[in-house]
């Protein structure tokens, strides 16, 4: 039986709610329900202890990574123009809208080709202009994969990020791009993405996380809410490319897929000293489908901690999880995933795969796939593999004139690209693959 966090006095990361001047400026327009939620979240945050080894959801995790001291909300960025230039220079050419946040504040917004019926606003504006619509989907998930304290802190904070609502039949083939920059020693930001696709609507959102400068101890505590209704489609991608020398990144993601809805979620982790990804995916009505993909490249002493749940709660639902980790130097990855087929969720098809490619003798991969089946006539499988690049593969490429180091790079790129290729949008996939290539170039330069 799993042990869980129990409320007890503990160390406090922050002594006051992480609010910024944005809250004071908009207090008059912010709905009462939201201010009440912030207050309750702060009280819950104070009651919850820092995660401990006795919590099964933190098994194998290096808990020294969450010993934060002197955290504070991020201050306004000193050179927003340069950050806008960075975000614009590297983005895909085709997009529906582009938002850039620096230290939790909006510094650029650009609407290029959004459908007329769509709502796409910074979250603080949406809370005022579409209060009831936001409330019906905002932080509705009660299940947890261990990040309760982070979620409570997030709920109490000043948030950045966007609210996207595509009504019935609203479709866009172009992605909505969102950049989040973080900088300042001991500074924290709280990005939030809320996406709703109603009946037969289709939308794609890409979050990009980057550091303003390297070698600063920063913290991102982000959350993502996705809801696709009857026949709705959502694709969400998180590209995390923070500085690997001090930055820490937490992202808690939840999906609810309704009748005949389809949701694709992709995580690409390249940077940060420590990453905690929690992904809860619920298929709540007949015909729902969730696909979750991840491509992660870790080096140095980076640790990527990934916890997932595929929850089948209705008949004839499907899901597929496919995670790829390439590890170098003394890096570590943790994967803990569960497929849960609930009572009555007959005729479920669900798959879960985690593959680890070890690029050094010191790299460490920990995998804990699991199944819990409480229904009949289901087809489920789970598994994990770990291994190094074989000598035969290296020899094959060397025989064609490719040096051994380049051969290892080519094999690793192909290994990670298998996850990226499962996403939709050729331009988006090329953009993600190019960022992975950039990380490999940096590895070569530091060798």
pLDDT of residue 27: 60
Supply 15's token pair.
């002594």
pLDDT of residue 6: 42
Tell me the pTM: 0.94
pLDDT of residue 53: 82
Q: For 1-26, write each residue's pLDDT tens digit.
A: 344 444 444 466 888 999 987 665 55
Average pLDDT rounded to a whole number, residues 27-46:
91
Tell me: pLDDT of 285 over 80.
yes
Rounded alpha-carbon distances, angstroms, from residue 430 to 225, 334, 436, 437: 26, 27, 10, 10
Q: For 112-150, write each residue's pLDDT tens digit.
A: 999 999 999 999 999 999 999 999 999 999 889 999 999
pLDDT of residue 26: 58
Give 283 or 21, the one with higher predicted confidence. 283
Q: What percent of the chain has pLDDT over 70?
A: 94
Are residues 360 and 327 in contact, defined by beta-carbon separation less than 8 angstroms?
yes
pLDDT of residue 421: 96
Rounded to whole angstroms, the Cα distance separating 149 from 93 reads 38
Supply 20's token pair.
């910024």
pLDDT of residue 393: 73
Average pLDDT rounded to a whole number, residues 189-209:
98
Tell me: pLDDT of 244 over 60.
yes
Q: For 220-237, write each residue's pLDDT tens digit.
A: 999 999 999 999 999 999
């Amino acid at each position: 039986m799993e042990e869980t966090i129990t409320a007890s006095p503990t160390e406090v990361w922050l002594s006051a709610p992480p609010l910024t001047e944005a809250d004071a400026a908009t207090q008059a327009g912010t709905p009462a329900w939201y201010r009440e939620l912030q207050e309750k979240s702060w009280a819950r945050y104070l009651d919850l202890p820092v995660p401990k080894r006795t919590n099964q959801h933190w098994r194998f995790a290096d808990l020294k990574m969450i010993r934060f001291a002197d955290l504070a909300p991020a201050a306004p960025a000193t050179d927003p123009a340069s950050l806008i230039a960075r975000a614009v220079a590297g983005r895909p050419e085709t997009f529906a809208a582009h938002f850039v946040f620096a230290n939790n504040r909006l510094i650029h917004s650009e609407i290029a080709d959004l459908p007329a019926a769509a709502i796409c606003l910074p979250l603080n504006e949406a809370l005022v202009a579409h209060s009831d619509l936001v409330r019906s989907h905002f932080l509705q998930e009660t299940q947890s994969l261990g990040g309760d304290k982070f979620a409570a802190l997030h709920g109490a904070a000043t948030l950045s990020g966007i609210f996207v609502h595509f009504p019935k039949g609203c479709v866009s083939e172009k992605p909505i791009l969102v950049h989040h920059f973080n900088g300042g020693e001991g500074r924290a930001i709280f990005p939030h993405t809320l996406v709703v696709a109603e009946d037969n609507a289709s939308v794609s959102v890409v979050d990009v996380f980057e550091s303003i400068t390297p070698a600063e101890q920063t913290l991102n505590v982000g959350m993502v809410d996705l809801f696709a209704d009857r026949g709705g489609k959502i694709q969400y991608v998180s590209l995390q490319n923070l500085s690997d020398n001090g930055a820490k990144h937490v992202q808690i993601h939840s999906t609810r897929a309704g009748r005949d809805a389809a949701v694709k979620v992709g995580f690409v982790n390249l940077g940060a000293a420590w990453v905690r990804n929690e992904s809860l995916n619920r298929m709540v009505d007949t015909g729902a489908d969730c696909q979750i993909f991840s491509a992660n490249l870790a080096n140095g002493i980076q640790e990527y901690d990934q916890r997932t749940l595929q929850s089948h709660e209705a008949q004839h639902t499907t899901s597929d999880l496919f995670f790829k980790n390439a590890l170098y130097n003394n890096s570590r990855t943790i994967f803990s995933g569960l497929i849960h087929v609930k009572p009555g969720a007959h005729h479920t098809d669900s798959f879960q795969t985690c593959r680890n490619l070890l690029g050094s003798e010191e790299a460490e991969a920990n995998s804990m796939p699991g199944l819990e089946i409480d229904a009949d006539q289901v087809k489920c499988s789970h598994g994990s593999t770990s291994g190094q690049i074989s000598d035969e593969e290296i020899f094959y490429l060397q025989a064609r004139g490719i040096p051994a180091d380049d051969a290892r790079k080519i094999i690793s790129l192909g290994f990670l690209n298998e996850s990226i290729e499962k996403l939709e949008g050729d331009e988006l996939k090329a953009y993600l693959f190019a960022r992975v290539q950039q990380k490999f170039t940096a590895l070569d330069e530091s060798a």
